[in-house]
Structure 1
Amino acid sequence: MALRATRAVFMRGGTSKAVMFHAADLPPNRADWAPIFLGCMGSPDPNGRQLDGMGGGVSSLSKICIIGPPSRSDADVDYTFAQIPITGTDIDYSGNCGNMSSAIGPFAVDEGLVAVPRDGNATVRIHNTNTSKIIVAHFPVVDGRAAVTGDFALDGVAGTAAPIRLDFTDPAGSKTGKLLPTGNVVDLLDVPGLGKIRASLIDAANPGVHLAAADIGLTGLELPHELERNTALVAQLEALRQVAAVAMGFAPDLDAAKRMASIPKVVLLSAPQDSPTLSGQSLPASSIDILARTISVGQPHRAIPLTGALCLAVGCRVPGSVAHSLVRASESSLRIGHPSGVIVVAADTQLRADGSLHVAAASVFRTARRLFQGDVLTAG
């Protein structure tokens, strides 16, 4: 069997990792990308471990980023995100990964795709083709390359690194063109196995379905391994995601929604309370404004996905929403507690005279690092 070598870079972005490709190194027809991406990640793997590829057996480690020249005059690069299934073969291009968005600017600088000062601060305007939105990355550069070392600590990632600020401009309506795709602040979703569940369906940065953990019999303190053990609940939450996907207009029916596994993210919410973390330490209620547990691509997430945090921050600003009813009042940044710690997100919102919410931007700090560069080998 011949092996195909494709130039690639492996990077951590925030609390995720992905293989990064230049668009020019891939076939011009997107339909021809699938064998390369699946082979790269080691999918499909019925054992769920992706041992024969670069994937890590969880959704946050089964990702691909494609970077190329900009197709818009207000961007420096185009960036396409692909969520690679672990046990299946349906690659999902429907949403963005906010964590990996933090790696795009440094990748573009280090690969010579954009011009930046030799020393100082870089600004890279990123066009995410999945959502047709602009993300502006700000980060330090040293000797013409993205800085790696720094004193910024990111919960869920060991050590410290150089900070990267991401500004998601005009994030509302990332997939539907509307902040509230159904027109309702709260919807009553009829979910097999759960019954009728109150949820807020929010489309900002990446679409989310927000519900109170208490409404499905949870405390909101459950850690990912506890949720994973409750396989019946995980299946019910996947059913809820599919119902929400149809209600938000992403899919015409539940079968189609099942194939679109990455959106919307399901986020279980509770009011601030002392909560455990994966490190064994406890988050005091005073350190957070809202507590979240996220289901991403059918799996309880070890942290909150970045775009999920951005969506939640916006949802907290929508009067009457599920998140708004649980969040501690805050005029500036929001502190979201999750299994790995706390993420601080700023949402620049204004309430219009007609009661609608305008979202100018949502911002967050991340870190990223290049792990290796070379060729990835796939069959064919």
Structure 2
Amino acid sequence: MRGGTSKGVFFRLDDLPTACQVPGLARDRLLQRVIGSPDPYAAHIDGLGGATSSTSKCVILSRSTRPGHDVDYLYAQVAITSDLVDGSGNCGNLTTAAGAFALHAGLVDVARVPQDGVCTVRLWQANIGKTILAHVPVAGGQVQEDGAFMLDGVAFPAAEIVLEFLDPADDDTGALFPTGQTVDELSVPEDVVPGGRIAATLITAGIPMVFVRAADLGYTCTESRERINRDPVALARFEAIRVAGALRMGLIRTPEEAATRQHSPKIAMVAPPATYRAANGQTVAAGDVDLLVRGLSMGQLHHAMMGTTSVAIATAAAIPGTLVSQAAGGAARAVVRFGHPSGTLRVGATAACCDGPSGPQWRVTRAVMSRSARILMEGWVRVPAGCF
């Protein structure tokens, strides 16, 4: 299925081989072989993956045993060249498809599915332990895929699916801002930035995120995906900052652990609005956006924007003082439109400041964004005997 600007292979849990119905090496090996990883040629010729972080993904769904939920949703990011299946976070884009798949696969109680209208699918995101509501349009009792909603980064229109991420602060750290600060200063090697210090907003909403100013790295945030991804020195600088952020957030204990946690935290750079040319050749005017963002996933600049990062962008934009809010002009925003390599995206979040044990503390109750999804193919995927 395509979900947002990502693609993934979707399974019902009960359809997996018995040994793969529980977490472990057998399941990892099966998902890797389905995708075609690890592939030293980084091409995924012998699998269903697309050799990018956006297309090297798997999803497993089952009826939920958790009260108030329809399905349990498990996400797996399959590394392309390395021997790694990373389940440390969620994919916001494929969350859209998870809601639609739940209906396609008959995992939602038929009494809850309207003949026509919108079905709210209540997802339990098992990777991060969060509730997500997917508002899926239905026609004739079936998922409506056709529509006029256009999503930058996707070539064709489709029906709009609205996602609500409830209480999206990540439980790995226990706080929206793990350090208690809206801006921290990270120590990095001097070949990353002169002086070895860089300002960063460390936030856990949707997924743990490290935001930095593009200008601090000599960028404008109008750079194309190709410009960054063809520069191994640039990618190494971003990874060094991501590792420093992961250490400060308490997500890893040593820099070496970052190699086994590539999916999160993610890193993105932000900048004030500027005019640039999107990947489809269209011009995005400075007046069309509130800020610019360029995000990296699995060590590469994303062709559009990761869904979970969009949640973090919306949340950080709603809280004055963060680098995201500063790039957007400094005022708290319930809704923000940002520019990414493929165009623009509008997201929103509801945040409030309340009293905490050590003083004022920010809390976000929900983040909202729109995506679309559709089935690309269905049937059997073949893997060699004994691969798992």
Q: 1:175 aligns with which of 172, 177, 189?
A: 172
Separation of aligned partners in 2, 1:296 and 1:331: 25
2:228 and 2:235 in contact (8 A); partners too: yes
2:336 and 2:347 in contact (8 A); partners too: yes
2:91 and 2:307 in contact (8 A); partners too: yes
The residue correspondences of 1:320-335 to structure 2 (distance < 5 A) are 320-328=321-329, 329=331, 331-335=333-337
Separation of aligned partners in 1, 2:383 and 2:286: 48
Say which SS state the counterpart of residue 356 (structure 1) adopts.
strand
Deviations 1:269-301 (A, max 9, x none): 000111221011111111101100011100110
Quote the offset at 1:71 in angstroms: 3.3
1:153 and 1:161 in contact (8 A); partners too: yes
Matched with 1:233 is: 234
Separation of aligned partners in 2, 1:29 and 1:346: 36
Say which SS state the counterpart of residue 372 (structure 1) adopts.
coil
Structure 1, unaligned stretches of length 5 or more? 1-10
Q: 1:373 aligns with which of 371, 375, 378?
A: 378
Say which SS state the counterpart of residue 373 (structure 1) adopts.
coil
1:84 and 1:91 in contact (8 A); partners too: yes
Q: 1:334 to 1:83 in 2, by over 3 A?
A: same
Quote the offset at 1:70 in angstroms: 0.9
The letter of the residue matching 1:309 is S
Quote the offset at 1:30 in angstroms: 1.4
2:317 and 2:325 in contact (8 A); partners too: yes
2:161 and 2:371 in contact (8 A); partners too: yes
Q: 1:133 aligns with which of 130, 133, 147?
A: 130
1:55 and 1:61 in contact (8 A); partners too: yes
Structure 2, unaligned stretches of length 5 or more? none
The residue correspondences of 1:93-108 to structure 2 (distance < 5 A) are 93-108=87-102
Aligned-pair identity (%): 40
Say if 2:314 is the partner of 1:308: no
Matched with 2:51 is: 57
The letter of the residue matching 2:269 is L
Matched with 2:245 is: 244
Separation of aligned partners in 1, 2:188 and 2:319: 24
Separation of aligned partners in 2, 1:187 and 1:38: 37
Runs of 4+ aligned structure 1 residues displaced above 6 Å come to: none
Quote the offset at 1:220 in angstroms: 1.3
Matched with 1:282 is: 283
Quote the offset at 1:52 in angstroms: 0.7
Matched with 2:256 is: 255
Matched with 1:18 is: 8
Q: Pick 1 or 2: higher relative contact order, CA cutoff 8 A, min separation 6.
A: 1
The letter of the residue matching 1:88 is S
Deviations 1:21-44 (A, max 9, x none): 111122233111011111001101
Separation of aligned partners in 1, 2:83 and 2:380: 22
1:335 and 1:344 in contact (8 A); partners too: yes
Quote the offset at 1:12 in angstroms: 0.2
1:304 and 1:338 in contact (8 A); partners too: yes
Quote the offset at 1:267 in angstroms: 0.5
Matched with 1:318 is: 319
Count, aligned residues? 370
Say which SS state the counterpart of residue 72 (structure 1) adopts.
coil
2:272 and 2:292 in contact (8 A); partners too: yes
The residue correspondences of 1:21-100 to structure 2 (distance < 5 A) are 21-26=11-16, 27-31=20-24, 32-100=26-94
The letter of the residue matching 1:224 is R
Deviations 1:169-224 (A, max 9, x none): 01113532210112222111112231211101010011110000000111111111
Q: 1:345 aligns with which of 330, 344, 347?
A: 347
Quote the offset at 1:330 in angstroms: 6.1
2:318 and 2:332 in contact (8 A); partners too: no
Deviations 1:3-24 (A, max 9, x none): xxxxxxxx00000000001111
Quote the offset at 1:118 in angstroms: 2.1
Q: What is the TM-score with the length of structure 1 in the denominator?
A: 0.95
Separation of aligned partners in 1, 2:3 and 2:97: 5
Separation of aligned partners in 2, 1:255 and 1:15: 30
Q: Which moved more, 1:74-83 or 1:343-352?
A: 343-352
The letter of the residue matching 2:187 is D
Quote the offset at 1:117 in angstroms: 1.4
Say which SS state the counterpart of residue 113 (structure 1) adopts.
coil
Separation of aligned partners in 1, 2:300 and 2:333: 33
